[in-house]
Chain A
Amino acid sequence: MAFLSDSAKAPRAASGGAAVPSSWQVWRYRLKVASREPTTLIGVLTALLFTYLIVVPIISIVLDSVRVQFGHERRLGKDFGDLTLYYLDRTFMSPVSVDLFWRPLFNTLSVAVGAILLSLLIGTILAWLISRTDMFGRRWFATALIVPYMLPAWTFALAWTTLSKNRTVGGQPGWFEALGWAPPDWVAYGRFPITIILALHYAPFVILLFGSALRRFDSQLEDSARILGAKRYQVAMQIILPLMRPALMSSMILIFAKCLGEFGVPYVLGLPVKFEVLSTSLFRSIASRQTGVAGVVAASIMLIGIITLMIDARLVREARRFVTIGSKGSMNRQSRLGKLRLPATGFAATIFMLSVGLPLLTLFLSTVMKLPAQFTLDNFTLDYWIGQDLHTVALQTGVLLSPDLWAAAKNTLMIVGLASLASGILGLLVGYVVIRTPVRVLSVYLRQVTFLPYLVPGIAFAAAYLSLFAVPRGPMPALYGTVTILALALMADQMPYASRAGISAMTQLGKDPEEAAQIAGAGWFRRMMSIVIPIQKGSLVTGVLLPFISGIKGLSLFVILAVPSTDVLTTYSLRLVDYHYTQAANAVVLIIAAIAYLGTLAAQKLTKTNLAEGLGS
C-alpha cells in the first residue's frame, strides 16, 4: 500500500508502538469506513439495477443479431441460440439487404443531411437576428421560435398530411385537394416533407446553441479586426465563423443523432410511398417477427448513434480549448438592421407561422370541420371532440367522450408519471452516490452506465427491451404487453438526463451543508431527509418534470413496446392515424402538444432554468 511508504521511513518515536498494519487490517478498516453509510450500498444496488436495465438489453439485442432465432432452426440447420452469420448476411449482403438496410440507410442519411442543412440555414439567421440585431420583437421571438421543439415532431407530419394528402391513400381528401390542386406524391409524402418537417422541428437546436455561442462571443474580438482594417464580411468569415464552428458542429451532430432515431414523422409521411428510413425498417422487422434482422438493424442504429455522439464529445472537448479564451469583455452589441429591419422581422414571423402557427391551426381546424377547406358555417362542428352517436363504424363518439382516450390518458399518466418519478429520484440518488462515494470505480461506472441510453436512439433501445423482456428469463416473467416494460424502458431511457441533473445538483450543493449536519450529530438518513432532499427540491422537481414532458410526447419507445391494452396517448393517436380517423388523431395530438408545451413552460417557471440546458430531452 503506497500510503504507508512514508510512515515506514519516518521516525516514529512518539507513535506508541505503531507498526505497519497488515493488509487485512487495512481492508477491514476500509470496509468499515465504506459500509458505515449506505452510500456505497445504494451505489452498488443502483449500479446493478442499471446494468440490468441498460447494459443487459443492449447486449441481448446484439447477441440476437448473431444467434439463431426461434423458427429459423430448420432453415439454418442449427439449434436455437447457436451462433450464426445468417442475419448479418441477410441484412448487409443478400438481395433483400437493399430493402432492409441499404436504402433505409441512404434515406436516413439523405433526410438527415437535408434537415441539417436547412435547419442550419434557418437557424443561424434566426439566431443572429435574435441575439445580435435590433429586429422587432426579439424577446418574443426568442421564446416563440423554440416552441416547435416543445411539440412532438409528428404533430407537423399530421398537419402536413391533413393539408396535402392525395389519392395515393384513401380517406378524407387533403385541403389542397379539396381546393382543387392535388399535390404530387413527392410533395405529399416521402423525402421532401420529412426533410422539411425535421428541419423546422430541429431548427430550435441551432437557434439555442448557436445563439448562446453568439451571445457569449466577445465583441472586442470583432472590434480588433475592424480596427486593423477588416471589412464586415471579412470579420464574419475570418473571425466569427471559425469561432462559431464548435457550436455549429455540435448542433449539426445533435440533429443528426435525433434524426437517426426519429420514427413518427417518417412513419406518417413515408409509409404511403414506401419511403423507409432505418427506424421504420427496424419497426417493420420487429412487426414481422424478424428478430435476428431487427437485432442487426438496431445494433447498426446504435453503432451510428454512438459514433456520432463520440465525435460530438470530442468536438466539445476541442471547442473548450478556445472558448475559455473568450474573455469577460463580452458585450452584446447589436447590429442595426436599418432598412432590413422590417423584412427580417417578416422572415422570423414567417418561420414561426410555418413551424408553429400553420400546423397547429391546420390540426385544430381539421378537428372542427366536417369537410376539409370549406369555410362555411354549417361545415363547422364539435362532433369530433364531443359528438355522440356518430355514423361511423367505430369511434361513434367525439374523442373526448371516447373511453379509449381516457384509458390512454390514464395509461400515459401512470406509465410516464411512474417512470419519470422513478428516474427523477434515481437520478438524484445516482448524483449523490457519484459525488459522495469513496469508491471511485463505482462513481465512474454509474456515471457512464446511466449516460449510455443517450447514445442509443429510443427505437433501438425499445427493440433491445423487446429482445430481453419478450420471453421469460430466469425469475423474470415475460413483460411484453405489460405496463411494467413500458415504465422500465422509459425510465432507463430518461436516466441520462435525470442522472446528469442529479450529478450537477449535487456538485453545486457541495459537501459542506451535509458535513455540518453530520457534525451536528445527524446520521445518514436524517441528513438525506432534512438537508439534502429539501435543498434539492427544485432539481428533483425538474428531474421528474423534464422526463415527464419528454415521455408524454415520446413515440419511438412506445410504438415498439405498447400493445392496445397499454396504449398511451401517442400510440393511441398513431393507431387512429392507421385507421384513418384523421380528426380524432389530430385532436389527440393537439392534446399531447398542449400538455408538452404547458409542461415545459411550467418547468421553466418553476425552476427558473433556461430551455437550452434541458436540450435533448
Chain B
Amino acid sequence: MTAAITANLPVFVVIAPLFVAFVLPTFARRMRLVEGLVIFVEALGLVGAGYLASIVLAQKGIPIIYRLGGWPAPWGIELEVGSLGAFFLLVIAGVSLPVALFARGNLTKEVGSKERVTRFYVLYLLLNGALAGMAVTNDLFNVFVLVEVATLSCCGLVSARNHPRAAEAAFTYLILATLGSTLVLGGIGFLYITTGHLNMGFSSQELGRIWQDNPHVVWVAISFMLVGFGVKSALFPLHLWLPDAHSTAPSPASAILSGLAIKGYLICLLKILYNVFGHTLIQAFAVHRILVLAGMVAIIAGSILALTQDELKRRLAFSTVAQVGYIYLGLGLVNTKGLTGMLFYLASHAVSKSALFLAAGAMIAATGKQSISELAGIGRKMPITMAVFTVGSLSLVGIPLFSGFIGKWYLILGNLEAGNIIPVAVIIIGSVLCAAYLFPIIRTAYFEPVADEDWQDPGLPQKISLILLAVAIVILGVLPGPFLELASRAAAEFLVLQ
C-alpha cells in the first residue's frame, strides 16, 4: 500500500489540483463546498509534498522517478522528484495553502459573483497543478505545456477583478507572456533539432557530445530561453507587465503570482540551464556572467523604482522585480553555496512576498485606501495584519532570525567563492534600499497618529493564514534544517552532472 502511494505520489500532486479544477464549476452554487474542496486539495498537496520530501531526504538524493504510461525514457515522459522537485513542491504547497485559506469567504468583495469566484478558484488550481508539474517534470516539451497552462491561468487571475485597469493589465500581460512562451518554444525546438531528445537527461548527454560542432545553435537556444523566461519572471528590463498585473489583481492572486508563479518559471529556467545545458556549457558560454550582471541591474533598478511608488501594492510589485534580481544573481553562481542560497532565497521570497501581499490586501480591504501615506496609525487598529507585514519586511531586508537572512548569507558566501566582489556590495546595497522602501510603511503604520476610523483585522481564516505565513518565515529563519538540506543537495546535484 505505502509502496503504491509512494510510487504514484509524483503524478498525484500534479493531477489532484488539475482534476479538482475541472469538477469545481459543477459546484459553483455552493460556495462553502468549493472553498472547502480547494483548501482540502491544497492540504493534501502539502501532506504529499512533505511525505515526498521526507522520502527524498531519507534516500540521500536518489530521486523518485515516475514513468507516465509505463513507457521508459527516452520514449515515454518522466516525472522526477529529486531534491529540487521535493523542495519546490514544499514551497508551492506551503504558500498556496495559506493563500487559499486567506481567500476563503473573502473573495466576493474583490471578484464579484459566485460564478466569478468559482472561476477564480479553477484558475488558481490550474496554476497550482502547472507549478507542481514544473517542479517534477523531466521533459522539455512538458515544460512548454506547463508554462503555457501557468501563463494562461495567471492571465485569468490578473483579470479576475471586475475593473477596466485589470483588463488592461491582463491584456498587456497576455501579449508579453505569449511572446515569452514563443521564445521558450523556439529554444526547445532548437534543442530538439540538435539533440533529438526531449527528455532532459538524454538531451543533456547528447548536447555534451555535440555542442562544440554547433556552438551557434546552443547560443541561440540559450538566448531564447533567457529572454523567454526573463519576460515571464519579470527580469528587469523585461518586467514592464508586472507592476500593473500584480497590483491590480485581487490580493490572493497577487500573492500567488508574485510569490509562486514567477518562481515556477525560474525553476524551469534553472532546470534547463543546469540539467540540460549543464554547468560546463554555462561557463563555456559565459552565461553565468550575464546572469549575475542582469541580477545586479535588476536589484538596483527594481529597488529604486519601488522607492518612487506611493501605492502600496505597486511598491510591493516593484519590490518583486528587485528580489527576482537576487535569484538571477544566484543562478549565475556556479557553486554549491551560491545555488543553495539562490534556492533558499527563492523559497524565502515566496513566503515573505505572499505574506506582504496578503497583509497589504487585508489593509486595503479594511480601509479602502491604496496609498501608503493614508495608512497612518493602522498598526494600532490592525495589529495582527501589521505585525505580519513587519515580519515579511524584516525578512526581505535580511535581518537575522528571518528567512531572508539565511538566503543572503549563502548568496554572499557563494559570491565570495566565485570571487565576485561587486555583486556582494550590490546585495547589501539592495538590502539597504529595501529597508528604505519598506520601513517608511511600518513607521507610518505604527508611529503616526491614529486616524479615527473603524479599521479592523480581517476574519479568522485570514488571520490564521497570515499567522501561518509569518510563522513559516521565522521557522525558515531559525530552524531551516531539512529545508536547507534539500536546497544544498539540489545545488550539489546540479554541479555533479557532466
* A and B together in one complex: no
Interface residues of A (CB under 8 A from B): none
Interface residues of B (CB under 8 A from A): none
